[in-house]
Copies of this chain bind each other. A is one copy, B any other.
Amino acid sequence: MDADKHVVIIGGGFGGIEAARAFKRAPVRLTMIDRRNHHLFQPLLYQVATGELNPADIASPIRRILRHQRNASVILGEASSIDARQKIVHLLDGEVAYDYLIVATGATHSYFGHDEWLEPAPGLKTLENAVEIRRRVLVAYEAAEREIDQQEIANWMTFVIIGGGPTGVEMAGALADLSRRVLERDFRRIDPSKARIVLIEAGPKLLPAMAPESSANAARQLERLGVEIVTDSPVTAIDDRGVTHGGIRLESRTVIWAAGVAASPLGKSIAATTNAKLDRAGRVIVNQDLSVPGADDVFVIGDLASINSDGKPVPGLSPAAIQEGRHTAKNVARSIRGEPTLPFHYRDKGTLATIGKAAAVADIAGLHLSGLVAWLMWLFVHILFLIGFRNRFIVIVEWAWTYLSHDRGARLITGDVEPLLERGEKIENRDRMLSK
């Protein structure tokens, strides 16, 4: 057994997990390294951020996913660099040698050089991000309920989402649902259904990767939910009191960043010890078999890989990462057997984005669906996708509950709540009660 090749996978996202599973019966030793102990179902993060699902509903411990795979072990640790010449992965607190390396560390936010926007406008990539956004959204309603100044109330009740891609669209729809349907009867002085939800996109249309019909449908459905959509309006400033976009100042106490992504910084260290080049987004431009130029024992998959398939760039979506993971496991097995590797071909299975309850858009096999049909498709795909998770059942229960009851279970503010208001005020002096 000691002669088994050592395959190291960095990153337990969709690509990394799928690759690990595909090695199940292969004669290799497998080590999965991740800085989190859980695989995250990122496409549903926005539902955690709006209190619809619990963090644990969309996360599954990597150890549990691989517990029956005896050739796999899991290391909780953060890879800091890769030395493709020495064939070593350096961790913050150790190092791991490999025979084959699969790098699947994905992407993170990019604030386009404005790192000072991170604090006032958190993004949505991790569970911690989602819980923090949930906290800010819920605290905003609490603060509005306690305010007396009408302008301040309006500022607390204005939510701005920057970026009209799938995350921005889904987040805007879920926030609209939250304010219009869920919180409706919870407050006494404010009317949450009057909250302003503003979705700002720098380019000319929402969901730029989808068909024009779907973009237009998404905009229509969001507007029906009361979301204000602003296009062609790049954001030029963000602080904790609001946003400047297209020369206009918009006051808001809650801003969410859904605009830019940047590839994982491991791309740079791959380029440093191989012949690989990075594209503008920092992704590694890989060979057609997903290996790295100059290091045929290193493969890059998922959002960190830049590759064309049949003349078109492969999109940064989970189905692409899953297909790449499976393909790479096959290529590594072929390479171990001395067979040539095969080029990767992406099979486009369509694109979906959901817009609040019972509304969505879908581009599938040349069709552009919207409304309830697209939403049912979204629901079906996501339930199917929660593969191998015990979470599947719980998520269905939670969704069914949310759908039937207009209620959300996970509306928790955790972390200490700092003083909400800026001055001491006599709360009882306001006629706060029985306003309805």
Contact = CB atoms under 8 A, between A and B. Distances in A.
Interface string A229-258: 000000000000000000000000000000
B127 A434 contact: no
B397 A394 contact: yes
B428 A77 contact: no
A93 B424 contact: yes
A432 interface: yes
Nearest to A142: B76
Interface residues of A, number: 79
A128 B415 contact: yes
A13 B68 CA distance: 43
A131 B63 CA distance: 19
A318 interface: no
A117 to B, nearest CB: 20
A426 B63 contact: no
6 contacts: A37-B417, A55-B414, A76-B139, A95-B427, A128-B415, A393-B401
A310 interface: no
A257 B221 CA distance: 52
Contacts of A191: none
A347 interface: no
A94 B424 contact: yes
Given A412-B127, A433-B29, A77 B420 contact: yes
Given A37-B142, A407-B390, A417 B76 contact: yes
A77 B425 CA distance: 12
Contacts of A96: 426-428
A419 interface: yes
A92 interface: yes
A186 interface: yes
Contacts of A398: 394
B434 A70 contact: yes
A29 to B, nearest CB: 5
Contact of A73 (B55, B74, B188, B391): B188
Contacts of A138: 37
Contact of A6 (B37, B131, B413, B428): B428
A384 interface: no
A194 interface: no
Contact of A414 (B76, B127, B401): B127
Interface in A150-181: none
B70 A146 contact: no
A61 interface: yes
